[in-house]
Amino acid sequence: MTTAANLEYAIDVVGLNKHYGEKHVVRDVSLRVRRGEIFGFLGPNGSGKTTTIRMVCGLLKPDSGSGTCLGYDIVRERAEIKRKVGYMTQRFSFWDDLTIAENLDFVARMYEIPGRKEAVHRAIDTLGLASRTRQLAGTLSGGWKQRMALAACMLHEPSLLLLDEPTAGVDPRARRDFWDELQSLAANGISVLVSTHYMDEAVRCHKLAYIAYGKLLAQGTAAEVVASQRLSTWAIHGDRLSELQDDLRRQPGVEQTVTFGDVLHVSGSDAQLLQRTVAAAARAGNRRAEPVETSLEDVFIYLMGKTQDNAGDAA
């Protein structure tokens, strides 16, 4: 049943669970993605991101949980969801000996898209492929193949895009151009759920969720995710930072040390204890220390460390 709530949200799911044998790969995941919003999924490999995406778009039935995608029930109306969703995996496959236009036409025929030729022309124009329509897919760079894959997802004019690490292995400029396209699509009301490992992509999302071993650990805007971990961070400048990093890991108040070029970031949840430890380390080595804003990357690394510890305990 369509309600005011699920008209507002492209995705509105509660308590999703999925098992493969004895392995519990998705644990009570709840998500809300507004229409026209880009929602980023972060987490290590094997964390349950792909399984969650597949449950949301009707490709996989959850063991338990409920919710809607584009107003349709994710259990009872999976066929309707699949007609209105574009799904792109990191391993997009096309025919190397066909041109871009021929590949897209083949996909359109395979899915019996009405007004096939018009749909292909529209996707080509929308994704800026007009100058390369006659180029063989096998000769394209990774960035252009990626853009062709997105065009294929857009042939049936979906209301929601589900993108599973779509920029893996693509150069930085192509990734930036791809995200410019996503921002444009979102501005036109298309919702996007995208999984990524790249921090420069994560900060371009309207909302983020961090998932590890099937469980959501943090969710919200980038600022809210950073604030939720309540970390204080100091930047240390000077010589022999590698030696200092090893030493600081054993000091009180220090929960994380990460080197960014010629700067060492030191983080912890006890702000006063961390300050005393950092100040003593800076004085001892004639180094300079200053408090800095905890970044999303600091938090991402911190969460990864916590989940690794949890996995070790479970084993």
Distance from C-alpha of 293 to C-alpha of 111, rounded to nearest angstrom:
49
- Token duo for residue 76: 């009872």
Who contacts 89 (Cβ-Cβ below 8 Å, separation ≥6)? Answer: 164, 165, 166
Chain-centre distance for alpha carbon 84 = 21
Q: Beta-carbon neighbour count of residue 303 at 10 Å? A: 21
Residue 197 identity = H
| pLDDT for 173 | 87
Q: What is the pLDDT of residue 19?
A: 95
In one-letter notation, the amino acid at residue 121 is H
Note the pLDDT tens digit of each residue in 233-276.
Answer: 999 999 889 899 999 999 999 999 999 989 999 999 999 999 99
User: Comparing C-alpha atoms, which of 148, 12, 10, 129 is closest to residue 67?
Assistant: 12
- Concatenated DSSP letters of 263-294: EEEEEES-HHHHHHHHHHHHHHTT-EEEEEPP
pLDDT digit string (tens) for 114-126? 999 999 999 999 8
- Pull the structure tokens for residue 255: 């929960």
Domain ranges across the chain: 4-226, 230-293
> For 289-299, how does the pLDDT look when each residue is reduced to its tens digit (9 = 90+)?
999 999 999 99
Stated as kind and residue range, the H or E segment containing 29 is strand 23-34
- For the 230-293 domain, the top CATH level (class) is alpha beta
CB atoms within 10 A of CB 99: 18
Query: pLDDT tens string for the chain (315 positions)?
Result: 455 455 789 999 999 999 999 999 999 999 999 999 999 999 888 889 989 999 998 889 999 999 999 999 999 999 999 889 998 876 677 899 999 999 999 999 988 899 999 999 999 998 889 999 999 999 998 889 888 999 999 999 999 999 988 887 788 888 888 899 999 999 999 999 999 888 889 999 999 999 988 899 999 999 999 999 999 999 999 988 989 999 999 999 999 999 998 999 999 999 999 999 999 999 888 899 999 999 999 999 998 887 754 444 333
CATH number of 4-226: 3.40.50.300
Q: What is the largest CA-CA distance in the chain?
A: 73
Q: Which two tokens stand for residue 157?
A: 């004019």
3-class state of residue 155 by DSSP: coil
What is the pLDDT, as a whole number, of residue 276? 96
Backbone angles phi, psi at 110, to 5 degrees: -60, -35
| Cα 267 from Cα 164, distance rounded (Å) | 31
| pLDDT number for residue 308 | 55
3-state percent helix, strand, coil for the chain, nearest multiple of 5: 40, 30, 30
C-alpha span between 106 and 83 (Å, rounded): 18
pTM score, two decimals?
0.86
